[in-house]
Amino acid sequence: MKRFLVTGGAGFIGSNFVRYFLNKYPDYTVWVLDALTYAGNTDNFHDLWDNPRFAFFQGRIEDAALVDNLARNVDCIINFAAESHNDRAILDPETAQKTNFNGVGVLLEAARKHQHVRFHQVSTDEVYGSTDGEFKEGDPLEPNQPYSAAKAGGELLVRAYNVTFGLNTIVTRGSNTFGPYHYPEKLIPLMITNAMQDIPLPVYGDGKQVRDWMWVLDHCIGVDIALHQGKAGEIYNVGGGSERHNIDVVKGILAALGKPETLIRYVTDRPGHDRRYSLNTEKMEALGFAPRRDFEVLLEQTVKWYVDNEAWWRKIKASDDYQNFTKKWYGDRK
């Protein structure tokens, strides 16, 4: 495997992955296919344009002709492309289905046709639903949100292509990820940037939801390990092992910025909001995966990145799309 098609590579995790991957493997070539939706941003790989082993193509993963043309020239497809925001998928489930389900089907068809060495689907712990215990890879999928249901559907297509057609597939189910280039609609970057702007920090419900946080570089390493060492047809949980209540994360951000907790506004909870995610990662650990557990240190580093990269997120927050979404979604959540 030397030539890779990385879909969704202009987004948060995808762009971090492409940078990590090109640095780590000097003989690899990476082509990024990305639709540049509201969440895709070529600024996220501003430092990669001059790299002769990197190329960018704008387009949708549901575009079969385009995907076919690219896929015939690579050994492996790694699919990060998704409508990744729960709130947006509640407002517009159809778009989430198109990308997270139909798009995966188009990529799988191209992989089947061109006899790929490997197809890697980047999935999420949200496909399991909510838990008081911990999720293992064989547990039933009980997604509760339009986003996670569409992701679960995409994963099941991957499984079917492995079983029916013998396609060499891998699925990783990642936990909540954070770090640089995270679009400022998700919990951590939203809270950091709102606090920097001295505007209210909207916290859903009682703020006691639990998420298992993973540093973005660890997510990239997890995908790398599973891609290179994972067994065909297998699924791997990739978790950070750092469970925190949302409200404690928010308070940690305010403390790091020296801002008052009076900025916190409790707002109507997201419908169908999962209470807690928790991953058993023994299968990945057996392959050598060992994520960083110093969450508070990494959170401070993330805060610093947003302080140092104000122009990046201010441009996004000033966009019509961002403003319209925020008005529509938070306008009703008093």
Catalytic residue among 126, 212, 224, 274: 126
Kindly tell me which residue out of 4, 5, 6, 7 binds ligand NAD, with binding defined by CB under 6 A: 7
126 catalytic? Reply is: yes
125 catalytic? Reply is: yes
Q: Say whether residue 34 binds ligand NAD (CB under 6 A).
A: yes
Phi, psi (deg, nearest 5) at residue 119? -120, 120
Report in angstroms how near the CB of residue 323 gets to ligand NAD at its nearest.
Answer: 18
Report in angstroms how near the CB of residue 246 gets to ligand NAD at its nearest.
Answer: 13
Closer residue to ligand NAD, CB minimum distance, 173 or 259: 173
Find the binding residues for ligand NAD in span 161-220 (CB under 6 A).
Answer: 174, 176-177, 183
Instruction: Round to whole Å and give the CA distance between 209 and 278.
Output: 11
Q: Any idea what DSSP says for residue 185?
A: T
Q: Say whether residue 283 binds ligand NAD (CB under 6 A).
A: no
Instruction: State the DSSP string of 281-332.
Output: -HHHHTTT------HHHHHHHHHHHHHHTHHHHHHHHHSHHHHHHHHHHHHT
Q: Say whether residue 39 binds ligand NAD (CB under 6 A).
A: yes
Report in angstroms how near the CB of residue 198 gets to ligand NAD at its nearest.
Answer: 26
User: What does the block give as tokens for 52?
Assistant: 């002769």
Report in angstroms how near the CB of residue 262 gets to ligand NAD at its nearest.
Answer: 28
CA 305 vs CA 157, 176, 188, 199, 299: distances in Å: 37, 18, 12, 19, 10
Catalytic residue among 147, 181, 183, 204: 147
Torsion angle of the four alpha carbons 42, 44, 46, 50, in this order, in degrees rounded to the nearest 10: -80
Report in angstroms how near the CB of residue 174 gets to ligand NAD at its nearest.
Answer: 3
- Give the start-end residues of each E strand in the chain: 3-7, 29-34, 54-58, 76-79, 118-124, 169-174, 177-178, 201-204, 210-215, 234-238, 242-245, 264-267
Phi/psi zone of residue 258: left (φ > 0), alpha (ψ -120 to 50 degrees), beta?
left
Q: x/- site string to ligand NAD, residues 57 to 96, per CB under 6 A? A: ---xxx-----------------xxxxx------------
Closer residue to ligand NAD, CB minimum distance, 176 or 246: 176
Binding residues for ligand NAD (CB under 6 A): 7-8, 10-14, 34-37, 39-40, 60-62, 80-84, 99, 103, 122, 124, 151, 174, 176-177, 183
Active site residues: 125-126, 147
